[in-house]
Amino acid sequence: MPGLFEDADVISVYTRKQAIEDGVLVDVSKGQRLFKFPVALTRTVWADCVEWPEDDMQAMQDQTGRLSDVLWMTLCAVRRGGTTDRVPVELYRIPRDGHSTEPQLVRLEAVCGPGDDMEPVITIQFPGED
């Protein structure tokens, strides 16, 4: 309905920039060349699918490779079904639980929406995280 919120007062605004500064989102735009838009992962996706301390000997993994896997599988999913602003992403990753060595399926989603200045941005998150 036009004019429905015309006279409404804005109570609060939480920008993408603030979410990155607060650590709620992890900006992975620098160094990646797969997407032409800025890309961020939610902190929970980062912790589950990317983060891997160098001294963790649970399995031969590293953050660079794990991030590359998340971005590559996201690109593949977008290419397969990228006609909406929300695309399901599936990938296998070794969970950081201290003992697993076999990859397990994880389901994510890539959401393309407006950034702080209305530019297109991509957020990779778990379903229902928004």
CA-closest candidate to residue 37, choices 108, 123, 109: 123
Would you state the pLDDT for residue 81?
77
User: Hey, where are the domains in the chain?
Assistant: 16-125
pLDDT at 124 over 90: yes
Would you state the pLDDT for residue 125?
97
pLDDT at 13 over 90: no
Q: pLDDT category, 22, cuts 50, 70, 90?
A: very high
Would you state the pLDDT for residue 14?
87
pLDDT at 10 over 80: no
pTM for the whole structure: 0.84
CA distance 54 to 98: 14
CB 38 within 8 A of CB 27: yes
Q: Which amino acid is at 76?
A: C
CB 104 within 8 A of CB 21: no
